[in-house]
Amino acid sequence: MSMRNLRKTLINSKIFSKVCISQPIRLVERSNFSFLLGYRESLFSVINPKLFQYSLKASFLFIESFKKQNYKFVIVSAITDSVLFNKFSEFCSRNKIILLRDTEIQPGFLTNNYFRKNLIVTLFLNTEKTELIQKETFLKNVPMISFSTVGVNRLSSSFNVSGNYNASKTQNFILTLLSVCFKTKK
């Protein structure tokens, strides 16, 4: 599939549209205001799909560059669908990717030197957990990519893909893209 066809498919897909409709403006972190296309005071905000697509593409290029440098990957997730989590867990174990649930993360989890040459990817975490991990990675100088809501400060991680990841189809969409990215050759 060519990049042009992929771009058309992404923009016209219903899943992509769901990712781009997010929280009301009162819950949006100021660093994400430039990504908004429009908003309602109490219902929802609309994320600019082109900027979302750009940050999505940039984050996968970032992952590929770290893969070429033989970094290990640690994924911290809050996948709500148990079937989806089990499938992704199997994929991670086959590809030697560490997968942690958000409930396993406590303050100081990066004090172990085990995380030296790793890239941390956070998936669908709440604001508090994301900010905890962002502080830890910043202090230990560990790169991080965050797939989070627009309520999280996007400037405190290496890359942040702000969107609405509440629906299981949206989570499946992101996990599928990650799986394809992790499967590509070095």
User: Which residues, 6 or more positions from 76, have their beta carbon under 8 angstroms from its beta carbon?
Assistant: 100, 101, 102, 104, 105, 120, 121, 122, 123, 125, 129, 133
Q: What is the pLDDT of residues 91-133, one digit of tens each?
A: 999 999 999 999 988 887 777 656 678 899 999 888 888 888 8
- The tokens describing 101, both together, are 């649930």
Distance of CA 86 to the CA centre of its chain: 18
Residue 87 confidence (pLDDT): 95
Q: What is the pTM of this model?
A: 0.78
Average pLDDT over residues 148-154: 66
Q: In the structure, what pLDDT confidence band is assigned to residue 71 with cuts at 50, 70 and 90?
A: very high
- The tokens describing 167, both together, are 């629906």
Distance from C-alpha of 94 to C-alpha of 139, rounded to nearest angstrom? 31
Residue 83 confidence (pLDDT): 93
Is pLDDT above 50 for 6? Answer: no
Q: What is the CATH number of the domain that holds 153?
A: 3.40.50.10490
- Whole-number mean pLDDT of the chain? 77
Label each residue of the chain as H, E or C: CCHHHHHHHHHHCHHHHHHCEECCHHHCCHHHHHHEEEECCCCCEEECHHHHHHHHHHHHHHHHHHHHCCCEEEEEECCCCHHHHHHHHHHHHHCCCEEEEHHHCCCCCCCCHHHCCEEEEEECCCHHHHHHHHHHHHHHCCCEEEEECCCCCHHHCCEEEECCCCCHHHHHHHHHHHHHHHHCCC
Residue 31 confidence (pLDDT): 59
User: Which residue range is the domain that position 46 belongs to?
Assistant: 3-183
The total number of structural domains that make up the chain: 1
Residue 135 confidence (pLDDT): 84
Is pLDDT above 70 for 34? Answer: no
- The tokens describing 120, both together, are 């941390």
